[in-house]
């Protein structure tokens, strides 16, 4: 039997997974066959790719890529792993959207923000107590490295303006707008649509409070421009920004970005 075992070609007499694991994988709890984790005693065939990995260890890049590919299908995985996405604003929307994109395997993430983490962020943003006082760009980059260290993460600790936006985004395909400030939202959308004709932008408006999750929707506003949210529920006293609804909207943004990467670009 000719196999690829833990990244190396081997020839062995074993023709079932249990026998192979007894011979080569003692003490390694996780078994991955052609990208799928399994506990079954599968029949082996020539060319199978097998990994035996301890439960508390990160698999090699090739194994992790194979696992992602098997879950997403090759066409989808190839597209997302080659993609370049910018997340502009790393608050409740952006920090959560960036994590969802990282878990989906987007290969190149560009994180942009000018703020640091404070205690008021902990109710809805993807940060921990240990991140307090840190740049959001740095804290989120570390978190993504903990999720998938093979993702290329680029950071810019800067306030975006109409003047610097085109240059900042020149290498990105899809822009996730995730600012809190309405004026900043408007600036980014207009600048991308007017000065970056090869890029798509996914924005958000209206995710405050709690209530019907189905009110949050994704809508195409015009070519290259999409908005997620209910577009009505702004934050105000008695109806603040809360983790569940913000995260739902962030997931809408991330989901729309994946759709653009796979079906459009």
User: For 131-168, what is each residue's pLDDT tens digit?
Assistant: 999 999 999 999 999 999 999 999 999 999 999 999 99
- What would the 3-class secondary structure string for 9-31 be? EEECCCCEHHHHHHHHCCCCCEE
What tens digit of pLDDT does each residue of 158-175 get?
999 999 999 999 999 999
- Alpha-carbon distance values, 75 to 60, 79, 99, 231 (Å): 21, 6, 22, 34
Confidence (pLDDT) at 207:
86
DSSP 8-state symbol, 70: H
SS3 185: helix
Q: Is residue 194 pLDDT above 90, yes or no?
A: yes
Confidence (pLDDT) at 232:
78
DSSP 8-state symbol, 121: G
Structural domains of the chain, with CATH: 2-60 (3.10.20.30), 76-264 (3.40.50.720)
Report the greatest alpha carbon distance in the chain: 70
Q: Is the separation of the CB atoms in 188 and 160 below 8 Å?
A: yes
- Alpha-carbon distance values, 253 to 35, 92, 227, 231 (Å): 28, 12, 8, 14
Closest by alpha carbon to 213, among 239, 251, 254, 259? 251
What tens digit of pLDDT does each residue of 245-254 get?
999 999 999 9
Lowest-confidence segment of 21-25, 96-100, 195-199 by average pLDDT? 21-25
What's the pTM value of the predicted model, to 2 decimals? 0.88
Confidence (pLDDT) at 235:
66
Helix axes 136-147, 92-104, angle to 10 degrees: 30
Q: Is the separation of the CB atoms in 49 and 66 below 8 Å?
A: yes
Structure tokens at 144: 């993504």
Residue 12: burial class (beta carbons within 10 Å; 0-12, 13-18, 19+) = middle
């Amino acid at each position: 039997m000719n196999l690829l075992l833990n990244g190396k070609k081997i020839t062995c007499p074993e023709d079932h997974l249990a026998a192979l694991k007894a011979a080569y994988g003692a003490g390694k709890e996780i078994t991955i066959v052609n990208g799928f984790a399994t506990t079954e005693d599968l029949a082996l065939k020539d060319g199978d790719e097998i990994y035996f990995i301890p439960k508390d260890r990160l698999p090699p890049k090739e194994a992790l890529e194979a696992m992602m590919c098997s879950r997403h299908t090759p066409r989808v995985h190839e597209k997302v792993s080659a993609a370049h996405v910018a997340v502009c604003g790393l608050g409740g929307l952006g920090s959560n959207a960036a994590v969802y994109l990282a878990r989906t395997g987007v290969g190149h993430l560009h994180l942009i923000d000018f703020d640091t983490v404070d205690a008021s962020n902990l109710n809805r943003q993807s940060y921990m107590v240990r991140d307090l006082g840190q740049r959001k760009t740095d804290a989120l980059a570390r978190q993504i490295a903990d999720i998938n260290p093979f993702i290329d993460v680029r950071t810019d600790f800067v306030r975006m303006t109409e003047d610097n936006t085109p240059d900042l985004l020149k290498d990105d395909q899809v822009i996730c707008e995730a600012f809190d400030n309405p004026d900043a939202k408007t600036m980014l959308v207009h600048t991308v649509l007017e000065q970056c004709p090869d890029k798509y932008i996914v924005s958000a408006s209206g995710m405050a409070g709690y209530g019907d999750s189905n009110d949050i929707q994704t809508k195409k506003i015009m070519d290259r421009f999409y908005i997620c949210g209910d577009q009505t529920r702004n934050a105000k006293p008695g109806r603040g920004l809360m983790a569940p609804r913000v995260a739902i909207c962030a997931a809408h943004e991330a989901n729309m970005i994946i759709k653009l990467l796979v079906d459009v670009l």
